[in-house]
Every structure is written in structure tokens, then in C-alpha cells.
Amino acid sequence: MEWETVIGLEVHVQLSTASKLFSGTSTEYGAQPNTQASIYDLAMPGTLPVLNTEALRMAVKFGLSIGAEIGKKSVFDRKNYFYPDLPKGYQTSQLDYPTVGKGELVINMEDGSQRTIGVTRAHMEEDAGKSLHEDFHGKSGIDLNRAGTPLLEIVSEPDMRNAKEAVAYLKKLHSIILYLGISDGEMSQGSMRCDANVSVRPKGTTKLGNRTEIKNINSFRFVEKAINIEVERQIDIIEDGGKIEQETRLYDADKNETRSMRSKEVANDYRYFPEPDLLPIVIDDAYIETVRATLPELPDVKKQRFQDQYGLSEYDAMVLSSDLASANYFEAVVDTCDDAKLSANWVMGDLQAYLNKEEISIVNSIVSAKVLGGLIKRITDNTISSKIAKTVFEAMLAGEGDADSIIESKGLKQVTDTGAIEKMVDDVITANPDQVQQFKEGKEQVIGFFVGQIMKASQGKANPGQVNKMLKEKLSK
Amino acid sequence: MINLGLAQISRALGSGEFSSVELTQKYLQEIAKQNSDLNAYITVCDELALSQAQAADEARSQGNAGPMTGIPIAHKDLFCTQGIRTSCGSKMLDNFIAPYNATVVENFINAGTVTLGKTNMDEFAMGSSNETSFYGPVKNPWNRDLVPGGSSGGSAAAVSGRLCAGATATDTGGSIRQPASFTGITGLKPTYGRVSRWGMVAFASSLDQAGTMTQTAEDAAMMLNVMAGVDPKDSTSSDRPAEDYTADIDKPLTGLKIGLPVQHFSEGLDATVEQCIRDAVAEFEKLGATVKEISLPNSHLSVSAYYVIAPAEASANLSRYDGVRYGYRCENPVNLEDMYKRTRSEGFGTEVKRRIMVGTYALSAGYYDAYYIKAQKIRRLIKNDFEKAFQEVDVIMGPTSPHTAFAIGSKNDDPVTMYLEDIYTIAVNLAGLPGISIPAGLLNGLPIGLQIVGKDFAESQLLNVAHKFQQATDWHEKSPV
């Protein structure tokens, strides 16, 4: 039987507010345990929450960026359950009246196709602390630094049909979040966490199969792997005559498997009810418009502009616009060198290769956009060839300076003096009569041999265009 | 001097009749004598009180005294006090010393008052007789076989027994007004949101409100002047400006329209209590007020609605007492579940556990709509009843309690009998309105309370009405001491 996969994602995004959702405590990452836990975060008796309006602004900003309905009245609820790193014994979240309602996200697949994925809702809630099980011999330690950090939980419709779409959705979300500046999006630090609801059904049917929820998948790569392995598991079970149990599963990246965490049947009844310590959040159109005015150019709009303004291919425009930092870098390169196509090639090619190799982000590139632009400028004004440019770029990576100083100190300036080139051409023709004969007999590809010899003789500095042209003239005589 | 009311003390301190240190010493001596029997205080702060009194006297000598400077008061033991135990009447918090002050406490410190100690209360403010306290029942100063009412029984007994000039208290479902009625003092519950809840250990967040226990309405006005106002730390506190609650206290009552809800003068009400309340109302007529009957048709639903909403909120509010970070933790837990179960089983008393169970049930999947949502609808109906009534009248009057103080141990068998104690007071909490109970008579030597309910934020009016009554009568001067 042919199976269809149905995937919905719940993505928790840690909002990059300076302080927590309800307490004013700093949210900075990496402090000593419990040094960023105020009396509210510790759930001391008598303490009360006060909403961080910056988190609200960020949530609304996100909602507007995906064209979602914005809740004019949103309500916080208490979600009750006991856990040692949940100090109040309830998580303050939003159930019936989330700040962000229905919206949608257009995802871009590798083959250039697009799909629209529904976003059911996005609601604000507070994060829990962390339980530490090491170093406490038979006991657990609790670190409440993270407790109360604002999260935006973005819930998608079950609109994705394979793991690649799920990854594309997550990447688009990631891209938008960074564009909006509402989170650092660092999956490795838990700033963006993903739970995947996965089910399968016979292709052509519409009834949803029993789903499992895969928890806390912390990289794009693992999302794809976890979903694929879970889909495989579910199909195996069903084909063996079994039934999928609705449950929460944990992805183990080391073993590349999912395993049962707890069954929903014995899971908590969360006993949600409206948080009486907070009034409903009421916002008006004026507020929404104020937030809308702060929206930046978003990835899809930027992509179109890159195509229109710079004549980039759709693919190049998509790659460069998907990440705000890359887009900004690219535009800064174009600003300097005024050649968008070459800029795109360099940013996506040599620069990206270097970034990948060093595993650093573009904002930390040792070669600045201005310096790269300077290099490209020397290609376009024929000071150096593209080939020599690669040598210069290597030197730049080695920290040897900008294009002009490297070209100068290494003597890499291209030879464009017709006389000098002519002499090299003549020399090479004289020295290789056999190849000249072959050319005359119609074996035109031998011209590559001559170019190679001349480039060797000029240490790559001869202008290849000139060399080609002159060679052809002389050999054809 | 300890027989004086708060306003009288303020004047006496101002005229130099005695010093704050002298007065504080007197109270501390009296507490030392009485408290082992009355059990009004859980914690007495001798040293702190004396040092505060000394500081107050010094401030006065430098001309820096306000109306509350040097006045010895007590706080109900659910207001967090930095460095002093805040037990909430529970074994769970017997070892809990808050690292911060409640806004109410902070405001009194800033006003220069003296903190004599922390008063006894029903555990987590759950009770109407002060018998659920981990620290034992409080006795009624009028008759030590009787309860003082609850949950603010300690504050009521301390004021009535002249062990402080005034006390803070809280009222979630009658917990200020009923004990005030039982002990013959003035108990004011302000409008929900008038006084900050920051630092007040929560019972039912949408109902809890801090107020005052004093001898007179004027005393209450002086205390409310310190307590009222918006607090950025409490999102539910009202940003409506606080008033000087003493400013209009002496206004004549000519033209005041009083409503008497028929439902509060029906079966279950002791006949003598009823007569006493009607006499009090007649007194108001003499003062120029007019009286008419009104109806609060849904008032019979208030106790039921309350006992869904309050336990529901409490079940979540009390989840934090898990033995992880502070408070009681059971001995040698074998695992997490064992720690939770035994900590909470051993740390909470019977009534608290009962309400946690009721609240948890009311919020459970499948029951939420039938209980919690329905109770919220009733709450709305009750609020509507009051709004309608207040289109016709300025204040609503009736008995605070259907009877006078009852014997310790007499109502412990059936929780519902105890819940019905608050039949006249609870609707006021559900509607968020201000209410005051003032002494209005005696029955067999025991005080009877008159409840006066006002419109939202009509504290000034309530205090004015109560004060004019107290100018014309002397029930508030009757004392067990």
C-alpha cells in the first residue's frame, strides 16, 4: 500500500526580550544556576505576574508577518501540572484566546516549488526551568534561570506531507524570526525548539491516522531524520497489523530512533483556567498599526526585489534572502562593487564554502562585505582575472589584507599590455610546432594547451580574454 | 491607653500624651499576658516593635511624624514580612521567612507604624472560625469558649481584645466582616483591586482583598489611607486614584438611600439579630436616610458559586507548596512522587486538602463547564443583581452573619454548615464590591454586626455612613476588656 505522511509542527521560539515574561528578571543565557531567578520566578508565596509588554509586541509582530489574525483580546491561562522545574505548579500560557490566530507561511522547496502551510495559532507562554541530574548523587538539582523566559509557541496545521516540507517550514519560520529580530533562533541553545506531530494514512484517504508527538528535536537535520524514522516505524507497525498508539516520543539522535516517553492516556489533565492574576490583554488597531510600522522587509518580498533590482535568478534570490545576515552582506558587497551577479556568485560560492568549512556565521566572516566587494571590483575592472581573484581571496582569508594590497604585494596585477601578451603568444607558438600543426588540421581544442602554457608563463596574470583572442588570430594565419 | 482606638491614639501621640515606646510596651505586656490563652498572635515581634517605636518617637521629635507614625498594629500572617515568619496558619509555611515585604506591609513601614506581630488565621485563610489554623484556634475575647470567626480571627481578636490599635486582614469570602461581627469591631473589605495583593499569600486570586480590622470607621479610614492605591506589581490593582478616606467621613447622611435585600432578612436569620439590624437601620433614618426593600434574586446561589471558584483558584495557587524550594518537606522522600505526596499530605490540614480536592475536581476535563464555567456565569448574575440594586439605592444593609459567635468545635462535623456562615458576605466578594461590618448591637452579651455594602470604589461613602452611625451610637465602644 502507498502511504501518505501528515505532519504538523509545534515550534517554541524563545523571544529575545531583555527580561522574563512576568518578572523583570534578566533572560541572559549561560549564567550560574539560579542567579537569574527572582522571587516571582521562585514562586515565592504572594508574588504576582506583570506582563512584559515587549513580549506582546514581538508576538504581534510575528502575527503580522504571517498575515495572521491578531487577538484584540488575549487571555492567559494556567496550565496545571507538577514538576520540580515548574515552580508555581502551573505554566502560564494561552489556551482559548491566543495573541496570534490563523495565518499562513509560504515555504520554498529545493526544487523551486512553493507550498502554503497554515499556521493555526501562536501563543505566549513562560518556559520552565531545568532539572539537573548529574553531580547530585541520587538527587536532582533545579536551575530556575530559564523559568519564566517568554516563549512564542507557533502551532501549524497538519499541512506538511513529508520531512523535507517540515524542514522547509522550520527554515522559513527561522528566517522570519531572525528578520523580525524577535529571537536569536539558536536551536542548539534551545531558543527554537520543535515538536513534530506525525501520522500516516493510506494515500488517497482523508481521515487522519493516530499521531505521535516527537519532542524536542534540536536541529533542522534531526527534524528530517526524526520524522523519517518515525514514519518508517509507523508504517512498519501498521503493515504488521498493529495500531499506532497516541503518545509522546523522544528522538534519540545517537541511535537515530524515537522512543516512547509517556502515553497520552495517562498524561496529565492540565485543568486549564483563566489566570486570575492577570487581566485580559486588550489591544486596539492603533497599537497593531504601530507594530506593523516596525515590520522589516520580509524574506519573500526581499527575494522578489533581488530578482527585480539585481536581475538574480529565482534560486540565487531565494538563497540570499532566506537569511537576513546573508542578504545584508550581499547587498553591502553589491554596494561596493556594483556587480550583483558576481556578488551573488562569490557570496554563495567561495565565501559560503569558507563559512561552512569554519562553521561560522556570515556576521563573523573574516572577510567583510566591503573587502569582498573590493575584490570583485578588481575583477570587473580587469585588474585581475577570476582565477587570480581566488588566490587573492585565499590571502584575504589568511588575513593578509584587502584586495588592492594583496594584488600589489604579490604582484598579481593582470598583464593587459598587448605587446607583452603578443610576445608570450609568439614564444609559445614558436616553441610548439607539433601543436600548431594539430590546430591547423582542425583540432581546435588544442588552443587550451596554448592558453595553459601562456598562463603558466605569466603566472596566471595574462588576461585570458586577450590571450584567447590573440592566439586564435595568430594560429589561424 | 491600649483601650483607645487608632485615631484616638494618633491624636494622643501627636499631643505627647504618651510615646510610641510607652504604648508599644503596654501592648507587648498585654500580649504576653493574654496571648497564651487568646492565641491571637502566631508571632510577636518584641524587639522589632520596640525599635520601630523608638524610631517613630525620634521622627516625631524631629517633626517628621505623620498620622500613623508610631501606631502599633498587627498583620494577618499571610502578608509577607521580610525577615519575619509568614506562616499563613499552616504547617506548610511554619518555617517560611519571606525575603520581601508585601506592598501593604511596606506601605505601613513607610507610614511609620510599629509591627507588633503576625496574627493567627485559618490555614491559608480557609475557614470561618479560625479553627483550621496549624497554631490552634483563636478564642473570642468576649467569651473564650467561642470562636472569633474567620479566617481573620487573629486580627479580629487582637483588635477586640485590645492587643493592637488596628490590624490588617483579608477577605476572600467574608473573612474580615464575619470575624469583625463576632468580635464587635469594624471590619472593612475594600473593592477588589483597591489594595495591592503583592506579597499577600494567595487563596483565591480573583476574590482576595486586603482590608482593615479596627475599633471604628475613622480608624479604618486612616488605615485605608495607607493601604489603598495602584501597585505596578499587582496587575489587578486599580489605577483609579486612591482618596483621602477621612476627608468626607463626617458628611451628613441626609438623602442617603438604603436598600435592604429581602433575601438577607429571611429564614435562617436569628430573630433577635434581625431586630437589632432593623433598629440600626432605624437609626440611619433618624440621621436623614431613606430605606427601601430591594431584591438580590440570585444571592442564594452565591455560596455554591463561591465554593467552586475559590477552591478552583486555590487548587492552582497552592500547587507551589511542593517541598522543592521552601516550606515544609517530608522526611526522607524515596522519590519525587513520594516527596510530593507526603509533603502535601503532611503539610496541609484537612480543610485545605478538602478545598484543593474540590477545586481540582471542578477544573477537571469533563467537569469544567458544569462547574467552573457555570459558577462564573452565576458570578456575573450576582454582579448584575447588585448593579441593578445600586440604580435605586446608595448602600445596601443587612446582617453580617445570621447569628452571633458560636462555640469552638460546634460546627466541625459538617463543612457545609461552616460554609453557610458566609451566606450574607460571599456575594460581595463575587461582585468585587466594598463592604464593611460595624457593631450594631448585642445579643446575650455578644456582638452583632451590621453589614454595609457600597458601589465599586465607594469606600469613602461606606466609611462616612459607618462613621455617622458610630457618632450616633456607642455599640463600637462596647468592649470585652
Residue of B nearest to A91 (CA): B316
Residues of A in contact with B326 (CB under 8 A): 42, 44
Q: pLDDT band for position B353 (50/70/90)?
A: very high
Instruction: Say if residue A443's pLDDT is above 90.
Output: no
A contact test, residue of B235, B313, B315, B338 with most A CBs within 10 A: B235
In whole angstroms, give the CA distance from residue A38 to residue A34: 9
Nearest residue on chain B to A85, judged by CA atoms? B324
pLDDT tens per residue, range A23-51: 999 998 888 999 999 999 999 999 999 99
Q: Which of B164, B163, B197, B175 is nearest to B80 (CA)?
A: B197
Domain count within chain B = 1
Could you tell me which chain A residue has the CA closest to the CA of B315? A80
- Looking at residue B264, its pLDDT comes to 94
Nearest CB among A89, A278, A279 relative to B320 is that of A89
Long-range contacts of A287-292 (CB under 8 A, 24+ apart): A287/A60, A288/A60, A288/A64, A288/A70, A291/A57, A291/A60, A291/A61, A291/A64, A292/A64
**Cα–Cα–Cα angle for A331, A333, A338, nearest 5°?**
90
pLDDT in tens, B111-139: 999 999 999 999 999 999 999 999 999 99
Report yes or no for ipTM above 0.95. yes
pLDDT class of A267 with cuts at 50, 70, 90: low
Could you say which of B80, B313, B319 has the minimum Cβ distance to residue A82?
B319
Is A196 a residue whose pLDDT tops 70?
Answer: yes
CB contact under 8 A, B322 and A47: no
- B245-297 pLDDT tens trace: 999 999 999 999 999 999 999 878 889 999 999 999 999 999 999 999 999 99
Confirm whether B315 is domain-assigned.
yes
Residue A265 has what pLDDT?
47
Interface of A with B (CB under 8 A): 39, 42-51, 78, 80, 82, 84, 87-90, 140, 142, 269, 271-273, 276-279
Give the range among A419-423, B230-234, B378-382, B458-462 with minimum mean pLDDT. Answer: A419-423
| Calpha distance A369→A389 (Å, rounded) | 15
| CA–CA distance, B252 with B127 (Å, rounded to integer) | 38
Label the pairing between strands B210-214 and B166-170.
antiparallel
- Rounded Cα–Cα distance for residues B49 and B416 (Å): 40
Is residue B437 domain-resident?
no
Answer whether residue A188 shows pLDDT above 90.
Answer: no
Of A45, A47, A82, the CB nearest to B86: A45
Q: Is A95 helix (H, G, I), strand (E, B) or coil?
A: coil
pLDDT of residue A307: 97
Q: Determine the distance in angstroms separating the CA of A88 from the nearest CA of chain B, rounded to an integer.
A: 4
What is the least distance, in Å, from the CA of A40 to any CA of chain B?
10
Any domain includes B339: yes
For the question of residue B76 being annotated catalytic, the response is: yes
Q: Which residue of A has its CA nearest to B325?
A: A42
The residue of A38, A48, A91 whose CB has the most chain B CBs within 10 angstroms, and thus the best one to mutate to test that interface, is: A48
Nearest to B233 among A48, A80, A87 (CB): A48
In-domain check, residue B252 = no
Instruction: Report the distance separating Cα B100 and Cα B115, nearest Å.
Output: 15
Residue carrying the nine cell digits 497564651: B36
pLDDT one-digit tens code per residue, A216-261: 788 999 999 999 999 999 999 999 999 999 999 999 989 999 999 8
Cell of B428: 460581595
Mean pLDDT confidence for B196-223: 98
Whole-number pLDDT of residue A266: 52
Q: Which of B102, B204, B360 sits opposite A271 (nearest CB)?
A: B360
Which residues from chain A sit within 8 angstroms of residue B233, using beta carbons? 48, 50
Interchain contact, B364 vs A45, CB within 8 Å: no
| Segment B10-56, tens digit of pLDDT | 999 999 999 999 999 999 999 999 999 999 999 999 999 999 999 99
Query: Using a CB-CB distance cutoff of 8 angstroms, which residues of chain A are in contact with residue B202?
Result: 45-46, 277
The predicted model gives A110-131 an average pLDDT of: 94
Among the partner-chain residues A39, A88, A279, the one whose CB lies closest to the CB of B236 is: A279
CB A41 within 8 A of CB A147: yes
Instruction: For residue A139, give how far its alpha carbon lies from the nearest alpha carbon of chain B (Å).
Output: 9
- Smallest CA–CA separation between A165 and chain B, in Å? 35
The pLDDT score that the predictor gives to residue A262 is 65
**Residue at B358 is within a domain:** yes
Q: Is B472 helix (H, G, I), strand (E, B) or coil?
A: helix
Report if residue B343 sits inside a domain. Answer: yes
Q: What is the pLDDT of residue A243?
A: 95
Does A89 contact B235 at a Cβ distance shorter than 8 Å?
Answer: no
Cβ(A100)–Cβ(A70) below 8 Å: yes
Closest CA to A388 of A396, B150, B156, A75: A396
In the prediction, which pLDDT does B373 show?
Answer: 97
Is there a domain that residue B56 lies in?
Answer: no
CB pairs under 8 A between A and B: 101
Of A45, A46, A89, the CB nearest to B316: A89
Residue A218 in grid coordinates:
534540536
Residues from chain A contacting residue B88 (CB–CB below 8 Å): 45
Distance CA A311, CA A252 (A): 44
Give every CB contact of residue B9 below 8 A, 6+ residues apart in sequence. Answer: B1, B23, B71, B165
CA A331 to chain centre: 18
Beta strand A212-217 pairing with A3-14: unpaired
Domains with residue ranges and CATH for chain A: 3-291 (no CATH), 299-410 (no CATH), 418-476 (1.10.10.410)
Domain of residue B332, residue span: 300-375
Contacts by B415-420 with C-beta closer than 8 Å and gap 24+? B415/B351, B415/B354, B418/B127, B418/B128, B418/B129, B419/B128, B419/B303, B419/B307, B420/B268, B420/B303
- pLDDT, residue A139, reads 84
Would residue B11 count as lying in a domain? Answer: no
Of residues B275 and A421, more confidently modeled: B275
The residue length of chain A stands at 477
> Which of B320, B326, B332, B430 should one mutate to test binding to chain A, selecting the residue with the greatest count of A CBs within 10 A?
B320
- What pLDDT, in 10s, does the model give residues B444-457? 999 999 999 999 99
Nearest CA in chain B to A37: B325
The amino acid at B261? P
CA distances from B63 to B57, B69, B128, B223 (A): 10, 11, 43, 21
Chain A: give the shortest CA distance to residue B188, in Å.
21
| Contact residues, chain B, for A272 at CB < 8 Å | 363
Q: How far is A90 from chain B (nearest CA, A)?
A: 7
Q: Could you tell me which residues come within 8 angstroms of residue A414 by beta carbon, excluding any fewer than 6 positions away? A: A382, A383, A384, A385, A388, A461, A462, A463
What's residue A105's pLDDT? 96
Residues A344-353, mean pLDDT to the nearest whole number:
96
Neighbouring-strand partners of residue A4: A201
Which residue in the block uniquely carries the three cell numbers 528578520?
A179
Q: CB distance A277–B205 less than 8 Å?
A: yes
Give the one of B198, B235, B363 whose C-beta lies nearest to A46's C-beta: B198
Given an 8 Å threshold on Cβ–Cβ distance, is B322 in contact with A51? no
- Pairwise CA distance, residues B465 & B460, whole Å: 9
% of chain A at pLDDT higher than 70: 99
Known active-site residue B175 = yes
> Per-residue pLDDT for B217 more than 60?
yes
Q: What integer pLDDT is reported at residue A125 of this predicted model? A: 98
* Cα distance between residue A333 and residue A306, in whole Å: 13
Residue A204 confidence (pLDDT) above 80: yes
Annotate A19-64 with three-state secondary structure: ECCCCCCECCCCCCCCCCCCCCCCCCCCCCCCCCHHHHHHHHHHHH
What DSSP line would sit under A136-169, residue for residue?
STTS-EEE-SSTT-EEEEEEE-S-B-SHHHHHHH
Q: Which chain B residues are Cβ-neighbours of A87 within 8 angstroms?
A: 320, 324-325
The DSSP symbol for B258 reads E
Tens digits of residue pLDDT in B150-206 = 999 999 999 999 999 999 999 999 999 999 999 999 999 999 999 999 999 999 999
State residue B418's pLDDT score.
84
Give which of A336, A331, A329, A296 is closest to A310, Cα–Cα. A331
| Band of residue B439 on the pLDDT scale cut at 50, 70, 90 | very high
Best to test chain A binding among B201, B238, B325 (most A CBs inside 10 Å): B325
The nearest alpha carbon in chain B to A80 belongs to: B316
Catalytic residue, from B10, B19, B20, B76: name it: B76
